[in-house]
Every structure is written in C-alpha cells, then in structure tokens.
Amino acid sequence: MIRKVKGTRDILPPESRLWVAVETVANRIFSGFGYEEIRLPLLEPTELFVRSVGEDTDIVSKEMYTFADRKGRSLTLRPEGTAGVARAYIENGLGQRPQPLRLSYRGPMFRYEKMQRGRYRQFAQIGIELIGASTPQADVEVLLVLHCFLSDLGFDDLVIVLNNLGDPEDRPRFIEKFKAELEPHRAELCSDCQRRWNANPLRILDCKVTRCRELVADTTPVAEVVSDEARAHVEAVESGLDGLGIPVRRSPRLVRGIDYYLRTVFEVVSPQLGEDTVICGGGRYDRLISDLGGAQVPATGFAIGEDRLIDVLPGSFRRRILERPTVAVLPIGDAAHAAALAVAKTLVTQGISAHTEITGRSLKAGLKWAAKIEARAAVILGESEISENTAIVRDLEKSEQVTVAREKVPEYVAELTASDGKS
C-alpha cells in the first residue's frame, strides 16, 4: 500500500465541509473589505525566500522543500505567501493600479517541520496583504478584518498579541544592548544561536530551545529600543483598535520567525493550542518590496493557519456545518429512477441537500442506507406515486409519512429540515 507523505493530510468528508465553510466566510469578509483574491504559484525560485524570509530563519535554513529542476534551477515549494505576493506585485506592475492594493490568498504552504498537533509539512494558509499604505490605520484595518473573520466563525477565546519591532535603523542599537546583556551566557546558547550571534542575533529571540528561551527572557525587550516614530506608530495602532473595541495584549518579546517585519507585529493564540502553536501571524513589512527590487512600497498583512483554525473551531460553528440536514430520495422500481433525480434536482436548486439512491436497492435497504447517511427525511417514489404524480415524504426521526403532490415535496421537506433549526 502506498501511504501519504509524512506531514501531509487527507482532508475527508464530512471534515472537508468545515474547510469549505471557513473559506466561504473568509471570502465574504475579505471581499467585503475590498480584498480580492490573488492566485500564485506553489513553486518559486529559492532565492525569493532567502531574500525575503531571511537566510538565518528556521524556515529558510531548515524547513524548505528545495530542489533542482531538470535544468538545475533551484526551486522551492512556497513556505509562506507574502514573498510570492511581493514578487507578483513587482513583476506584474501592480503599483500602477490604484493604491493601496488589497489582496487575499489561500492555499497550501510547505515546511519541513517536526510533526506534532497543529504542525504539518503541507498546511494551508488564508491571508490578506494591504500594500501601499504606511499609516497605522492600515494595520488597524488588517486587524479589524482578522477580528471580523474570527468573530464571524464564533470565536470568543482567541487572544491577539501585538508588539513593536521598531525600524531596521533601530536594530543596531537593540542588538548592541541585547548582545551586551547576553554576553556572560553566550557559551550556554545552542549551536544554532552561536551561529546566529554574528549572522542575525534577532533570530536568537525566537529560538525554541529551552535554555536559549530562559536566557533571552532576562534581556531588554525589543519594543523598548525603538525610535519615537515607530513607538508613535504602534501606539496609534493600539488606540485605533481600542476605539473599535478590539482587545489586544502587548507582548514585548514577540519577534516572529521571519526577517521582513518592522514596527507592528502580531499573532493570534488560542488557549486550546497554547502559545507555541499560533493560529495567525502578521505584521508590517515596509521594506520587503524594495528589498526584492521593487519601489519603496509599505505593506502590512497576516496569514492564518487554516489547519489550526479548524482544529479549534467553536462547537456552534462546527455543529451548524456538520449537522446540515440531508434528504434521501428513494426510487422503487426502474420507472422511478428518472423521477428521483428530477426530485433531487428540484430540492438542490431550492437549497436542500439531497442524496439519490442510484444502486437499485429495495425500499427496506434504501431506508437502511438513508439511516446510515443520517438523512433527516426520505422522499419515496414507488409505482403508484409515479403514476399519480405524488411522492411520499417520510420523517425519519419520527417514522411518520405523508403522501404529497410532487411539486409540494420541497415545501414539505423544507418544513421538516427547518424544524430542526439547523437548515
């Protein structure tokens, strides 16, 4: 037997319904705020991620699926979406369109990570990017979209944590202070952090090794070594969010695991998954597009990990989607088959889910099958129903049935399914 690749998943029905439902909500909220979908390749030149995400990040140094194609070009399965959006923005001259540009995306990303709950090697992200606005209001809008989306799904226990990374110009001052504080313990850092010490000391802040975390916990938080402009920017974001009634918690040590961020960074954590398995990450990346050879265009955005989001979906949303009632259409005898599909068509076009029995089961076997698929009702078409243009509508919970005119079937069925309050 051939098995799936480690770290990938088969999303089976009915679980897949949750994915479709979550994506439908995302489409509605994102497009409502003006974010239009951009669909990008899963394969990009490796250099794109090296130059954007950063050479010393875990993603680039350990987790990418990189290979040479048949002509020897180094390609990488995208580990995230923002770099591709920035590349596409430059390559397609999207700076010519009215700014700011609001884009959304979703789809698979690939990172060679150690498997655990909520951590996969192929996972899906749903994200938005707001490109061409440097104001705090842009960050506020992005967080508002995020909040609206999560609220619409019924979440009430998620926490948005936010921090100020300052500007790249603030980094040397921070790094000097940070290294001076850490110097007495330098030898205790893990081998990766020994390398990061010179290459990219900021990355020591998101090392997952326990001892490194302990040592870092006593150093001055990055948010305390930022310029007045950066401080004012993030404070304006916080007061904007406060004005909209969106609670956020300051997390002065939050740095995120990607190099392109500056000023505002944020994550969404769930009490169910803990602080290490975040649901969403995002922030401002004003230098990314210019670093990749484009114009100086500020931008901000986020990406939600869809696998994790679905893992902790509120029960109310989950039930509403998974308990969607369905109807079994049961033709008895050859003459009834075409009529059965015609009834199914009418039901489906009126928004009622209908499964038609198409294997030639007897009525008894058909009713058993209807029970197995947890149909709420059965529409039975026998010889006399066909000749009289009627149908039997059977309530499968109460085991009661009525014979109704064929055109009244949707009405009866709708009443039955609606009476459950979960149509």
Which 347-366 residues touch ligand HAM, going by CB under 6 A?
Answer: none
Q: Using CA atoms, how far apart are residues 184 and 221, in angstroms rounded to an integer? A: 18
Residue choice 44, 56, 58, 129 for contact with ligand HAM (CB under 6 A):
129
Using CB positions, name the residue nearest to ligand HAM.
305
Convert 276-287 to b/e letters by CB count within 10 Å (16 or more is b).
ebbbbbbbbbbb
Q: Print the binding letters for residues 232-271 with ligand HAM: x by CB under 6 A, - otherwise.
A: -------------------------xx-------------
Shortest CB 246 distance to ligand HAM, Å: 18
CB of 123 to ligand HAM, least distance (A): 3
The rounded distance, in Å, linking the Cα atoms of 196 and 120 is 25
Q: Examine residue 146 and tell whether it contacts ligand HAM (CB under 6 A).
A: no
Considering the complex, what minimum distance in angstroms separates the CB of residue 257 from ligand HAM? Answer: 6
For position 120 contacting ligand HAM by CB under 6 A, the verdict is: yes
Selected binder of ligand HAM within 283, 331, 366, 382 (CB under 6 A): 283
**x-or-dash string of contact with ligand HAM, 29-68, rule CB under 6 A:** ----------------------------------------
Among 52, 61, 82, 270, binds ligand HAM (CB under 6 A): 82
With CB under 6 A, what is the number of residues at the site for ligand HAM? 27
Q: Give the nearer residue to ligand HAM in terms of CB position, either 279 or 379.
A: 279
Distance in Å, CB of 329 to ligand HAM, minimum: 40
Nearer to ligand HAM, 262 or 279 (CB): 279
Establish if 105 lies at the interface with ligand HAM (CB under 6 A): no
Instruction: Say whether residue 221 binds ligand HAM (CB under 6 A).
Output: no
- The answer to whether 303 contacts ligand HAM (rule: CB under 6 A) is yes
Ramachandran angles phi, psi of 43, nearest 5°: -100, 130
Closest separation in Å from C-beta 128 to ligand HAM: 8
Q: How far is the CB of 83 from ligand HAM (least distance, A)?
A: 7
Minimum CB–partner distance for residue 61 and ligand HAM (Å): 14
Kindly state the greatest CA–CA separation across the chain.
Answer: 92
**What's the rounded Cα separation, in Å, for the pair 17 and 22?**
9
Least Å distance between CB 189 and ligand HAM? Answer: 23
Closer by beta carbon to ligand HAM, 129 or else 238: 129
The answer to whether 352 and 417 have CB atoms below 8 angstroms apart is yes
Does 119 help bind ligand HAM (rule: CB under 6 A)? yes
Residues that bind ligand HAM (CB under 6 A): 80-82, 111, 113, 118-120, 123, 125, 127, 129, 257-258, 278-283, 285, 301-303, 305, 307-308
